[in-house]
Amino acid sequence: MTGLRQAIPRITVRRRKQPLTSRESLTLILASVAAGIFLGGLLFSLAGVNPLYAYGKILQGSFGSIQGWKEILRKAIPLIMAGAGLAIAFRAVFWNIGAEGQMLAGATGATWVALNFTTAPGYILIPAMFAVGFVMGAALCIIPALLKSKFSVNEVIITLMLNYVALQIVTFLIDGPWKGETQHGYPYTDPFVQGARIPRIPGTFIHYPTLIIAVLASIGLFYFMKRTKAGYEIKVTGSSPKAARYAGISYARTLVMVAIISGGLAGMAGVGEVAGIHGKLLYPEYVSAGYGFTAIIVAWLARLHPAGVIASGIFMSGILVGGDAMRIRVPLSSVNIFTGLILLMLVSTEIFRTYEIKFSREDVP
């Protein structure tokens, strides 16, 4: 018995004395992503799809070609924009799962501007659309923030339910009052006038003004969190609401602030989709298109670091684009296998940040 016990290395788990270095942290993130992608391939092979084929297709269709990069940058725009906001919300432990609905709210606001002020010049129209989109997204997100801070209603459920409400309202608008007269009965609005369309890099769908706003927002939020009193208050509220209250930080105000930031940015992401890509309001599935959910992983992958969202947004966009490339063989939704597993691996390896696991042969007293 004792011989056997000595042969097996003793495993000790103890709380880390120092946090991981940034290099260790990055290694852990990359290892989690790799594990998620490996397990995803395993599931594909169980379903009869050769995982090497899947990986090859994903790479070829995304990071491995010019066409792929064009698509990646296009889809990274809403992911970076919404992801940067979510990173701030999650820092305050405000679980905004409603970016999907907030994007729709923003898109609806922009559409209202585009359909009603057709004669205004583009340099007024487009900023106005972004502003109204921001306000609409923020307004939808303030509801759960107020309900949580005033009545302790769970924000996860409220934000999720509002996604469905927003979806139904958009469906109603495009099939009812806003149904286009030139669309032959299809449930779309009329196309936006030229002045209400966000310019794109020729030959691509990259609506670069939105991309610039998204990147500036992430960098701006990085400094906001690092340098300002409000950013500090968000961090304190997130790590301990009680400590925040003793320090005189208003819980309600902090939550409303992160709701405005995250909802507003998601709203602007929605503006980019209708005014930069589609040029009209159409089925909600095509407007928010799951970006609001993928943005959760984008934020988490960046470890809630608003500037890191730029890199993680491009990476997750690559996964989405690669999934698109596989669409002939497998349904589009199966890309969720990869996103789900990557998120699962990321959250499961958090434990290595607080604990260290040591294997040793000698007995530790």
Q: In the complex, what is the shortest distance from the CB of residue 329 to another protein, in angstroms, rounded to a whole number?
A: 9
Asked if 82 contacts 291 with a C-beta cutoff of 8 angstroms, the reply is yes
One of 20, 43, 135, 142 touching another protein (CB under 8 A): 43
Q: Does the footprint of another protein cover residue 188 (CB under 8 A)?
A: no
φ, ψ of residue 302 in degrees (nearest 5) = -85, 10
Separation between Cα atoms, residue 55 and residue 326, nearest integer Å? 9
Note the helical H segments in the chain: 2-7, 22-46, 51-61, 66-91, 99-116, 122-151, 155-175, 208-227, 229-239, 241-246, 251-272, 284-287, 291-301, 308-325, 335-348, 351-354
Q: Does 35 bind another protein (CB under 8 A)?
A: no
Q: Does residue number 247 form part of the binding site for another protein (CB under 8 A)?
A: no
Q: List the interface residues with another protein, window 45-104 (CB under 8 A).
A: 47, 49, 95, 97
Q: Which is nearer to another protein, 129 or 343 (CB)?
A: 343
- Residue 156 in contact with another protein, rule: CB under 8 A: yes
What's at 116, amino acid-wise?
A: N
Name residue 12's beta-bridge partners.
358
| From 253-261, 263-271, 311-319, 340-348, span contacting another protein (CB under 8 A) | 340-348
Closest CA to 217 of 316, 310, 94: 310
Q: Does 185 bind another protein (CB under 8 A)?
A: no
Q: Least distance to another protein from the beta carbon of 305, Å?
A: 16
Residue placing its CB nearer to another protein in the complex, 204 or 349? 349
Residues of the shown chain interacting with another protein in the complex, contacts defined by CB under 8 A: 12-15, 43-44, 47, 49, 95, 97, 147, 151-154, 156-158, 160-162, 164-165, 168-169, 171-172, 175-176, 293, 296, 300, 330-341, 343-344, 347-351
